[in-house]
Chains A and B, each alone.
Chain A
Amino acid sequence: MLDRIQPKVPASYLNDMSRLEGKPEAARGGARQTDNAAAEVSLSEEALAMQRAMQAVKNAPDVRTDVVERIRNEIQAGTYKINVEALAGRLLSFLK
């Protein structure tokens, strides 16, 4: 009964599907490949860019943007380095 409604899929078709499983859209294009070549190339490039972005996220350090912003501001204002240098400089001048 079920077979009549949903005929068995030929084994060759299943083999083809399993081979293509997980491959990019471009690899599954078949006949459409010729017609949509430009679009698929573009899609592959986007997928690649996203893959690179995800890899960059994985490799990125544990970052809190507020913290980064604060430290960057201190560096730009010069306070990060100058505070220590000014204080130490005055002490060294007394220690001479």
Chain B
Amino acid sequence: MSPTYSPAAEELLDGLMGETETYRQLMSLTQSERSALQERNLTSLAEIVRQKEAILANLMEGEKTRQQLVARLTQDIGLPGDASLSDIIAALDDPLAQQLARLRQELTDLVDQLLSLNHGNHLLLKAELEQVEATFNYLMSATFSHDGHYSANGEGTPQAAPGTVLNWEV
């Protein structure tokens, strides 16, 4: 296949550069998430998760835009619609092909690292929640194992059931 050019290729390069930047932000947040998990700061963790969700929504939008762009580009340069970036690079002229190849490598490394970090965080979070739950259960059993009624003499003075207040025996 002879190298060719499409304006959509420039747009794809810009789009992927934008995605790379957003993935860097996601990576940074995922690293903060790891710190929050290690510090057992669930309040900070919740804020990080909220920010991650916003970035993920942003990335999903970026993905839609990229898919439309790739559809246009592959049509321009005569490739099948499901062509990979490697296929596209092979069909493009330098320096655009080289720029895309560099970006492809950078993005691949970044996403690999992100997946690994995210997987570790997921395991840490599961362990943390199990511990929190166990602590709650312990506290609940230690605190509420009695009837909860207290008198001047301390805990344990039974409270009359409704309707039995006057049914006392001498």
Contacts and interface: CB of A to CB of B under 8 A. Distances in A.
A75 B129 contact: yes
Contacts of A93: 84
Interface residues of B, number: 43
Contact of B119 (A46, A71, A81): A81
Interface of B: 19, 26, 40-43, 45-46, 49, 52-53, 56, 59-60, 63, 66, 70, 84-86, 104, 107-108, 111-112, 114-115, 118-119, 122, 125-126, 129, 132-133, 135, 138-139, 142-143, 145-146, 155
A21 interface: no
B63 A68 contact: no
Given A71-B49, A91-B107, A94-B85, A85 B125 contact: no
Given A64-B43, A75-B129, A95-B108, A88 B84 contact: no
A67 interface: yes
Contacts, number: 98
A67 B143 contact: no
Contacts of B138: 53, 56
Contact of B115 (A56, A64, A84): A84
A84 B142 CA distance: 39
A35 interface: no
30 contacts: A53-B138, A53-B139, A56-B135, A56-B139, A57-B139, A60-B132, A61-B132, A62-B43, A63-B42, A67-B46, A68-B132, A71-B45, A71-B49, A74-B49, A75-B126, A80-B125, A81-B118, A84-B26, A84-B52, A84-B114, A87-B56, A87-B59, A91-B111, A92-B108, A92-B112, A94-B84, A95-B84, A95-B85, A95-B86, A95-B111
